[in-house]
Amino acid sequence: MTATVPAAPVGSELHRALGALRLRGAIFLRGEYSPPWAVESFSGTLLAQMFAGAAERVIYFHVIAAGRCWVEVDGGERHWARAGDVVVLPYGDTHRMGGAQDAVVVAATTLLGPMPWPDVPLLRHGGAGRETTSIVCGYLASDDPLFDPGLRALPRVMVVRPVGPALQFVQASIHYAMLQTTRVADRVEVSTEVPRLLLVEILKIHLASAPAAHRGWLTALHDPVLAPAMAAAHADPGRKWSVADLAAVSVVSPSVLDARFRDVLGLPPIRYLSAWRMHLAREFLEATDLGVATVAHRVGYASEEAFSRAFSRHHGTAPAAWRRRSAGRAGARPAGLPPGGGDGGSPVVPASSARSGTDGPVTSRPSGPVHPT
């Protein structure tokens, strides 16, 4: 799913709440892929064991430095990302990524040498195609309910498209994080603060279009009455929910639930659900190839016409026009991002790895562990 709206005004409740999130993580991999290519990620559980100590799960993020790729979870719809986009998988789901050409999916675990790695590894993989897709990969760990897969406060895949100062911040953050990756004695230490700031900025952009985001949305996720109802609506937005249905999930009366929604979020439950559906719909239109009728069904509308009317009222333009406008914004590579391809301008420092043939992996030889600082 893709968000392209600017971040919320500085000083808003959303910014303050996101700034208080406890996050720890690091950049752990760089990839350069030439078509045809497709890879499957580490599992979130394995990544947590490798890097995050006692964490039960991790948050994946991928910064697309050059090129274009898709990402999918559990064989679902493919979400497309281009240079300048940031892909976030908030629940650490195992996922696949690939290019425009069909390719056999190869597990990332088979392309990298055993840990500990001597450096943040550079993985080169794919065929003899000319356009290289460059990706910087990182993880974060957090126990905040925002990243609880049971609540489903966020989609399983987010493709966020920063613009203006936010895009410049993403570029500078990745450069700085890689430059701060230094060798100390027998290990490599990587920056943890920059990935945290990066994810917070991306969440600000994504959540700016969520209903009641600047009033009490994050607070509601911690509320014992609102959280169960919101989790149910987020998990199944296509269901014909009534206030009584949602109240039953929270084990309160409909009047209590309605009052709580109004007090915390400033919206009655059904208006919140309608706004949440429109939030999801814009992201399906921006990042997937799903038809408008399919998107309408996914977010709870029986007909494309009814969905189009609701979408136009909420966003001020028809779904098809929104998709065309989004595609136009994403058509050109953002200024300042380096081109893809080998040594021709990777945005990160070179890794101590070498290509083993045109379609073979790069394997890092272990000499010391990689540790987040």
Per-residue pLDDT of the chain (373 residues; tens, 9 = 90+): 554 434 434 335 667 777 778 888 888 888 999 999 999 998 877 777 777 666 777 899 999 999 999 999 998 899 999 998 999 999 999 999 999 999 999 999 898 877 767 677 889 999 998 899 999 998 888 888 888 887 788 889 999 988 888 888 888 877 776 666 544 444 445 566 778 888 888 888 888 777 877 677 888 888 999 999 999 999 899 999 999 999 999 999 999 999 999 999 999 999 999 999 998 998 899 889 899 999 999 999 999 999 999 999 998 999 999 998 877 655 544 444 333 333 333 333 223 333 333 333 333 333 333 444 4
Residue 36 CA to residue 34 CA, distance in Å, equals 6
Residue 333: strand pairing partners: none
Q: Write out the two tokens for 359.
A: 């379609």
Q: State residue 52's pLDDT score.
A: 64
Q: Write out the two tokens for 197.
A: 């700031």
Q: What CA dihedral angle connects 361, 362, 366 and 367, to 10 degrees? A: 170
Which residue in this structure is represented by tokens 């430095």? 65
Residue 195 CA to residue 90 CA, distance in Å, equals 14
Kindly report the average pLDDT of the chain as a whole number. Answer: 79
The architecture of the domain spanning 2-208 is Sandwich (2.60)
Q: State residue 180's pLDDT score.
A: 62
Q: State residue 157's pLDDT score.
A: 93
Q: State residue 242's pLDDT score.
A: 96
Half-sphere exposure at residue 109, Cβ-oriented, CA atoms within 13 angstroms: 9
Strand pairing class (122-126; 158-160): unpaired
Q: Minimal CA–CA distance to 218: which of 3, 20, 60?
A: 20
Residue 245 CA to residue 67 CA, distance in Å, equals 45
Residue 238 CA to residue 232 CA, distance in Å, equals 11
Rg (CA), the chain: 21
Q: Do domains 2-208 and 217-329 have the same CATH topology?
A: no
The architecture of the domain spanning 217-329 is Orthogonal Bundle (1.10)
Contact status, residue 264 vs residue 223, Cβ threshold 8 Å: yes
Q: State residue 356's pLDDT score.
A: 33
Predicted TM-score (pTM) of this structure: 0.73
Contact status, residue 294 vs residue 316, Cβ threshold 8 Å: no
Buried b (16+ CB within 10 A) or exposed e, 341-352: beeeebbbeebe
Q: Where are the domains of the chain?
A: 2-208, 217-329
Residue 212 CA to residue 267 CA, distance in Å, equals 8
Which amino acid, residue 357? G
Contact status, residue 190 vs residue 372, Cβ threshold 8 Å: yes
Buried b (16+ CB within 10 A) or exposed e, 211-236: bbbbbbbbebbebebbbbbbbbbbee
Q: State residue 96's pLDDT score.
A: 97
Which backbone phi and psi does 55 adopt, to 5 degrees? -65, 140
Which residue in this structure is represented by tokens 């890092």? 364
List, edge to edge, every strand of the sheet that includes 38-40.
Answer: 79-82, 68-73, 95-98, 38-40, 106-107
Residues in CB range of 218: below 8 A, 6 or more apart: 13, 14, 17, 18, 146
Strand pairing class (122-126; 24-34): parallel
Contact status, residue 173 vs residue 253, Cβ threshold 8 Å: no
Which amino acid, residue 352? S
Q: State residue 37's pLDDT score.
A: 97
Residue 300 CA to residue 2 CA, distance in Å, equals 19
